[in-house]
Each structure stands twice: as structure tokens, then as C-alpha cells.
Amino acid sequence: MGRYIGPVCRLCRREGQKLFLKGTRCYTDKCPIERRNYAPGQHGLAQARRRKASDYAQQLREKQKVKRIYGVGERYFKNLFERAAKQPGVTGENLLVALESRLDNIVYRLNFASSRKQARQLVRHGHIEVNGREVNIPSYPVKPGAEIRVRAKSKDLLPVQASLESKTRPEMVRWLAVDEGTRTGRMLERPSRADIPLAVQEQLIVELYSK
Ligand code: SF4
């Protein structure tokens, strides 16, 4: 299935929570979920009033939610899960850490972009370098110690400037450090689950794929 190109606020309404897909608007009262916190479509409100969802429905929704937050497709997500399951430790945590370590996510968390979608574009268009070399692969796995920088020719790009100057931006996570002046960030360490500010129950995804 191709990438979703419809209105992203519908995705948040479908999942019943803010997924922060639209940049600075998500932090204002213009966020539609503030007014209509039920699934889109003519049956959305009725669905919200119905009885509790089945276990399977909850597991499925949790998986869809995480995929939508990071903007990744089903095949990629499943492959990442299988790799996470082979690693030592807790599979759900390994999965989230792998998603958090994606270059586009790190560019977003460093506030060089106001959304993961915008961060993906910056990476794709060659505006980002890792350890001094241009990397244009959004899923590139960043390792602890790596330096992530907006390229010199791109450091005054409007989206980068607007994101850094925005008053409504997510808080910096403690496993990243940034020097906004030089548009340079560093991944200090591998995050633990407690360091990933995401309201998701990754265990439900593990249960779904373990069936
Ligand atoms: Fe989701 Fe942001 Fe749209 Fe609100 S404004 S519904 S958080 S994408």
C-alpha cells in the first residue's frame, strides 16, 4: 500500500489522540482533535459511543498509531519488528528505540524541522549530514555518538529557522544535545523506554505480531 496523502488530522482523530503530525499547529487550539475527538466519517461518533473494542482491535490500533506517528509503511514496520524481536532485551522497547534512532526522527527531535514529515523532506533533499557526510536516507539508523548537522549551505533554510524559533515545539529529549547556532546535534546515548516521550503501549504490538 502506498503512503497516505490525505488530511493528516484525520489520522489523529482515528487514533483518538494527538499524533503531532502537523508541526506547530498541533500545539495550538486550532488542533481539530480538541473539538472533535472521535473517528472521522459519518459513523465516527457512533463508533466512539459503542462498547469497548476487542483485544485484537486495540492491538491493531496501537500498531497503526505507531506507524502513523513515525510515517512508516507496513512492510518496513514488520521488518523492523522482526529485527527487534531477535535482539536481546524487551522487543517492544527495541522496536521503539529503532524508530527513534531513524535520522528523520532525530532531525525532528533536534527541532531542525517542525514535524517528522518535514524532517524526512530535509533529509531526502540532501540538507542533513551525519558525521560530516551527506545522508539522504530518512530511515538511516543513527548510532550513539554520531553528529547530525544541517549542511552549511542549508542552515538558513526557512523551515529550519522557523522550527528553531517556534515557541510551540516539543521539549528536547535528554539523549540528544543540540547547538542551535551551528545547527548541530549529537546523539549522546541509546535511549531507554523512559526516555521516549510517546503515549503508546508497545506491548500490544508485540502481542499482535506474536499471534
Ligand atoms: Fe493531529 Fe496535529 Fe492535526 Fe492536532 S493539528 S489533529 S495533533 S496533526
60-64 LR contacts (CB < 8 Å, sep 24+): 60/208, 61/15, 62/200, 62/201, 62/202, 62/204, 62/205, 62/208, 63/204, 63/205, 63/208, 63/209, 64/14, 64/15
* pLDDT score for 49: 65
Three-point CA angle 164, 18, 22, nearest 5° = 40
* pLDDT score for 2: 65
* pLDDT score for 197: 94
Pocket test for ligand 1, best of 18, 38, 108 (most atoms within 8 A of CB): 18
* pLDDT score for 131: 98
* pLDDT score for 168: 81
* pLDDT score for 80: 98
Q: Show the low-confidence residues of the chain (pLDDT under 70).
A: 1-2, 42, 46-51
Q: Whose CA is nearest to atom 3 of ligand 1?
A: 9
